[in-house]
Amino acid sequence: MYINPAIKNGTTAHIAAIYTLYQKVASIKGGLARTKNEITTEYISLFVHKSIQSGIIIIAVDETTSAIVGEIHCYGSGIGVFAQVLGELTIAVDPDYQGKGIGRILFKKLLNTVINEKPEIIRIELIARESNTKAISFYESLGFKKEGRLEKRIQSASGGLEADIPMAWIRKY
């Protein structure tokens, strides 16, 4: 069943609710790189501030509960020669709400914002662990392309090391 959440820009007023969302998403291994105890208010606050300052942050709200059930953000590096790049992209959807179309709604909103409101942005970068095949095929369906393979870069949920896959979306003219 697909739900129709409210889609809004994230603000600093949402930091506590985004923290709660990320704690929940990080409790399931194999998705976010950070573990639950690495999701701190400082981490959330830093990316919210950076995304507001030099990128995009969008949230999905279930209006029946007012809970933030999804979030996506990315931001610039602050380095002039990379002014056309948004990176550090992370998306997280509440496990109870995954598979209902929220991730796609958030991502499409982010890409449409870049296409229509940020003509200076030519490239959006992300990295996904190789075993997160659901996320990788999702990103490919949105126009992201694999750009290589970073061997043994990330620890697997099951132990051992696995490849990280750098991917990018590039503006079409």
135 near ligand COA (CB under 6 A): yes
Q: Which is nearer to ligand COA, 120 or 140 (CB)?
A: 140
Q: Which is nearer to ligand COA, 96 or 120 (CB)?
A: 96
Give the tokens for residue 71: 């979030």
| Out of 44, 58, 68, 93, the residue judged to bind ligand COA by CB under 6 A | 93
Judged by DSSP in three states, 110 sits in: helix
Name the residue with the smallest CB distance to ligand COA: 103
Give the tokens for residue 95: 């496990």
Question: Any idea what DSSP says for residue 97?
Answer: G
| Out of 18, 68, 102, 110, the residue judged to bind ligand COA by CB under 6 A | 102
Question: Do residues 59 and 68 make contact, with C-beta atoms less than 8 angstroms apart?
Answer: yes
CA-CA distance, 131 to 134, in Å (whole number)? 8
Q: Which residues bind ligand COA (CB under 6 A)?
A: 25, 31-32, 91-93, 98-104, 128, 132, 134-135, 137-138, 141
